[in-house]
Structure 1
Amino acid sequence: MSLSRPARSRLKLLALFAVFTLPMAMAWGMVEWRLGIPEGRTAHGTLHPDVPALSNWPLTRVVKDGDDDWLLAFDCPDACPQAADRWWRLHRALGRDAHRVSRLRIGGGSSALPGEAPVAWAGGPPAWRVPGALWILDPEGRAVLRYGAEVETAQVLEDVERLLRLNPEPPVARLHAE
């Protein structure tokens, strides 16, 4: 059985309409009935918009490896070699993106690990400080996420990798490094 020429043309027109209308209908259905849309959060840390920018933190001095670096700032209330080692290992696990992240250790009496900049609270810690916390700060110094000491390192690594993937390094940055 073969279709007549007008029937084939109508079938082609219907197929063309389907190609453009079916995705819109599926998207509407996903929004209307919440099908295929994740319910949970995507980051393991917590947002704290009330934390001031890094330039307003009462620190002795802040050193970053690069101006466009993300910053892992962790607060050590006392000597904290375990926490320092934990974040050093996370930094190394970033692999080829490790150069885009700097580490800042606030407090703690032990010696600094490679690539870590030790600082101290100047004039006492601020009210928003959480002892043992880790903050991820964007290149402009704004706090993006905060993690408590109980959060697994793998979850923090996942979030840092996602942030770096969603905020790619500008192509010109590599030229400046060379």
Structure 2
Amino acid sequence: MINLSYQKRQRLKLIMIFSIFAAPMLMAWIMVVWRVGIPEENMANGNINVNLPELAQWPIDDKEPLHRGAWVLAFDCSQKCSQRSDELWRLHRALGRDAERLTRLRIGGEYPALPGEKITRWSSSAEWAESNHAWLLDPMGQTVVAFDAHLPTKKLLDDIQHALKVNPY
């Protein structure tokens, strides 16, 4: 009788060990099948479904390289240019040590360039370009995120910091 009780205890221990390892798999399967506990919203504040040409194909006057290997924050400066340019300059400064990894490209505007900013103009109209929008481009020139003109600068900063964090080089 003592042997039988010992066997039951050992089986119970084995079942407990199996359940400890099987429970996370079961929970993951439930989450996938019944969509329970999976967030529906995007992590990015800007539009990540961007289908724009790479920077080399944009209809801008000055296409010389900005900084090789640097991310580019390009923004249209057709309205409220001084305010928008100042906000993005402050955003650039808020990046801290990652600021050297980002270059700002202002398209349009009559005001002088702020530190770290390069100015160019549209050589022809681009049907996809909207006034006061901003675009984050990776070091290869591909558009990663498009930002609406009304998006708060803090949310724009969050997206840029996230992109620089997940792409360390």
TM-score normalised by length of structure 1: 0.85
Spell out the pairing of 1:30-69 with structure 2 (5 A cutoff). 30-62=31-63, 63-65=65-67, 67-69=68-70
Question: How far apart, CA to CA, are the structure 2 residues paired with 1:112 and 1:74?
Answer: 13
| 1:119 matched residue in structure 2 | 120
Q: Secondary structure at the match of 1:136?
A: strand
Root mean square deviation of aligned Cα: 1.9
Give 1:4 shift: 4.6
Deviation at 1:68, TM superposition (A): 1.8
| Shift of residue 79, structure 1, vs aligned partner | 6.5
Give 1:16's aligned residue. Answer: 17
Partner Cα distance (1:49, 1:80) in 2: 24
Report the residue type matching 1:64 in the other structure.
Answer: L
Which structure 2 residues correspond to residues 133-172 of structure 1 after superposition, within 5 A?
A: 133-169=133-169
Deviation at 1:115, TM superposition (A): 0.5
Aligned partner of residue 146 in structure 1, secondary structure: strand
Q: Distance in 1 between matches of 2:79 and 2:30?
A: 54
| 1:48-86, Cα deviation, whole Å (9 max, x unpaired) | 533111010122224423x22111000111571110001
Alpha-carbon contact 1:48-1:143 (below 8 Å) kept = no
Shift of 1:156: 0.7
Partner in structure 1 of residue 75 of structure 2: 74
Q: Is the 8 A contact 1:49 1:143 kept in 2?
A: yes
TM-score norm. by structure 2 comes to 0.89
Counterpart Cα distance in 2 of 1:72 and 1:110: 18
Alpha-carbon distance in structure 2 between the residues aligned to 1:48 and 1:5: 61
CA distance in structure 2 between the partners assigned to 1:48 and 1:54 by the alignment: 17
Task: Tell me, in whole angstroms, the C-alpha distance in 2 between the residues paired with 1:127 and 1:48.
Answer: 17
Within 2, Cα distance between the matches of 1:38 and 1:99?
34
Assess if the C-alpha contact under 8 Å between 2:79 and 2:131 holds in 1: no
**Structure 1: segments with no counterpart, 5+ residues:** 170-178
Identity of aligned residues (%): 45
Q: Distance in 2 between matches of 1:41 and 1:79?
A: 29
Q: Counterparts of 1:80 and 1:159 in 2: how far apart (Å)?
A: 22
1:139 positional shift: 1.1
Question: 2 CA distance for matches of 1:56 and 1:79?
Answer: 26
Deviation at 1:32, TM superposition (A): 2.1
Instruction: Assess if the C-alpha contact under 8 Å between 1:73 and 1:134 holds in 2.
Output: yes
Equivalent pairs, count: 166
Once the two structures are TM-superposed, the CA of residue 132 in structure 1 deviates from its matched residue by 0.8
Instruction: Confirm or deny: 8 A CA contact 2:50 2:146 kept in the other structure.
Output: no
The amino acid across from 1:60 in the alignment is D
